[in-house]
Chains A and B, each alone.
Chain A
Amino acid sequence: MAEPEVKNRKPRLLILIDSDPRTSPRPAEALRVAGGIGVWEQVQVSVVLRHAASWAYSADAEGLKGGRMFRQFIGMVRESGGEVYLQASEETMQVIDAETLMQSNLKDSRLAELAAGADYLMRF
């Protein structure tokens, strides 16, 4: 295993969430972790809500498991300089507003670049 390069920048952490907040509390916990790590500004945190996880962005997300955390921690990640990206599924495209879809959408090719540039990748 190659040695990690010595770097003078913050480590980059990519949190990829693809579990379904309609059935699992894990997406909410993952966002809490992202917010909780990012707020200390020692680590550059990016979050991708992929496919089923993008229900966290739906208008009625607060009704999902741990739903109160979504708005709180998505905001916290962004306020700490991090990004929260979205890869909507066909279903969630119907329930997420168009502006959010346009602003936060992430293509697979860009996800690959983010993953390649991250020091650490966690999948929930």
Chain B
Amino acid sequence: MESSGGLEVQTSPIPVQMPEPPPTGEPVPTVAAVPEPVVASAPSSVQETGPKRKLGVLVSVGPGHPNFEHGVRLAEAAMRSGMEVYLYCLDDAVLGIADARLQSMRGLGLRLFGCEFARRRRKMPPDELAIYGGLTMLSDLTAATDRFVGFN
């Protein structure tokens, strides 16, 4: 299942493939007969070498604006590559917090924040679609992420 242009969302349990029983009449291999698998080490360039890198994304334009799309798609791509993504919706971007792709990504680990001031100015009712807070959150993201990008 794929959301519109977004990440795949797992809604059913992961199917578990059971080992097939050996055909009748054939001897069941004993533990001693099965060679130990050799664990191949991954090339150093793709090995996990520490904590995940953190990407901060600020979006301040509404969901109809091309830069909103750029922000969402960058967040998607970064999550696919294994980064921790923190996305802060400021100003008109709070109108896009309910975007299905953002909510799907949230289920997959996206840290989604919204500007409380922007929400109140637009008389949007409180919801649990994001963590709403002030610019101190944005300050923290700017200071604590490895990369910070704005789509304004």
**Residues of chain A at the chain B interface (Cβ within 8 Å):** 4, 10-11, 13, 26, 29-30, 32-33, 36-37, 39-40, 42-43, 119-120, 122-124
Contact = CB atoms under 8 A, between A and B. Distances in A.
A43 B58 contact: no
Nearest to A38: B139
Given A33-B135, A122-B58, A123-B152, A11 B142 contact: yes
Nearest to A40: B139
Contacts, number: 51
Nearest to A36: B135
A30 B138 CA distance: 13
B145 to A, nearest CB: 9
Interface of B: 58, 60, 90-91, 134-136, 138-140, 142-143, 146-150, 152
B143 A120 contact: no
A32 B135 CA distance: 9
Contact of A42 (B134, B143, B146, B152): B143
Given A40-B136, A122-B150, A13 B91 contact: no
A13 B147 CA distance: 12
A122 B151 CA distance: 8
Given A4-B147, A33-B135, 6 more contacts: A4-B146, A36-B136, A40-B140, A42-B139, A42-B140, A120-B150
